[in-house]
Amino acid sequence: LAKTTQPISMDSYEGQEVNITCSHNNIATNDYITWYQQFPSQGPRFIIQGYKTKVTNEVASLFIPADRKSSTLSLPRVSLSDTAVYYCLVGDIYQTGANNLFFGTGTRLTVIP
Amino acid sequence: NAGVTQTPKFQVLKTGQSMTLQCAQDMNHNSMYWYRQDPGMGLRLIYYSASEGTTDKGEVPNGYNVSRLNKREFSLRLESAAPSQTSVYFCASSEIPGREQYFGPGTRLTVT
């Protein structure tokens, strides 16, 4: 079962690059890695998803090493509006079923002016 | 285009009462999900539906039942509410199973 571990909190100054790492030592062959952002009193919002190596979109990059036992979400030049909780999700519901889809406990990112 | 909608937004129940949480999506997605989020915690999957008429248990299914009424709607029922079910419930949908999920605004449920 690919349970995940993330730092509880991080602080960063505006304009800096932020890297949040998620550990998933028991990741299965078919599992994808997905990151979500959640603001207070809202549902999570999809940021990025990957399987291996590096994925980049307009808001973030996702780095996955060859052994896939961890992943790093990179947010370039954060702003105050990036203050939120970031969750890593590992699993492949299609291949291994709904009882193998796990959200991490989340990393609370605070961006400081 | 409303995305994923959930009703009600807030609900207070007494122990032993029953209720149904409603969820609907207008994105023509096949996959739908119910999660619960306890204070300061991550989300835990309660049930998943890959398509109309199919459901699968997630990490924490005990005390809940679900119905995939049609492609749009996925309801979650608490037959006999317990204080341990006090939580925020999120519904989500995705085009591909387990991939990019779109979440609703949540239902905040308190059981006294």
Q: If you count them, how many residues does chain B have?
A: 112
Is the distance from CB of A43 to CB of B106 less than 8 angstroms?
yes
- Which residue type sits at A57? N
- Determine whether the interchain pair B106/A43 forms a contact, defined as Cβ–Cβ distance below 8 Å: yes
What's the pLDDT band for B1 if we cut at 50, 70, 90? low
Angle at CA of residue A16, ends A57 and A19, nearest 5°: 60
d(CA B58, CA A93): 10
Q: Which B residues 9-28 touch A at CB under 8 Å?
A: none
Q: How do B87-94 and B101-103 pair as beta strands?
A: antiparallel
Residue of chain B minimizing CA distance to A98: B58
Under a CB-based contact definition with an 8 Å cutoff, are residues A61 and A53 in contact?
Answer: no
Q: What is the pLDDT along chain A (113 residues), one digit of tens a residue?
A: 558 899 999 999 999 999 999 999 988 888 889 999 999 999 999 999 999 989 999 999 999 999 999 999 999 999 999 999 999 998 877 666 666 677 878 999 999 99
- Whether the link from the prior residue into A113 is cis, omega within 30° of 0, is no
pLDDT (tens digit, 9 = 90+) per residue, A73-90?
A: 999 999 999 999 999 998
CA–CA gap between residue A73 and residue A47 (Å, rounded):
9
pLDDT digits (tens, 9 = 90+) for B65-78: 999 989 999 999 99
Q: How is chain B split among helix, strand and coil, in percent rounded to 5?
A: 5, 50, 45
Q: Helix, strand or coil for residue A82?
A: helix
**Interface membership of B95 toward A (CB under 8 Å):** no
Candidates B41, B90, B99; nearest CB to A43:
B90
Task: Give B96 to chain A, closest Cα distance, Å.
Answer: 9
CA distance A32 to chain B (A): 8
Give the span between the Cα atoms of A84 and A99, in whole angstroms: 27
Q: How far apart are CA B55 and CA B31, in angstroms?
A: 10
pLDDT tens for each residue of B16-62: 999 999 999 999 999 999 999 998 778 999 999 988 889 999 889 99
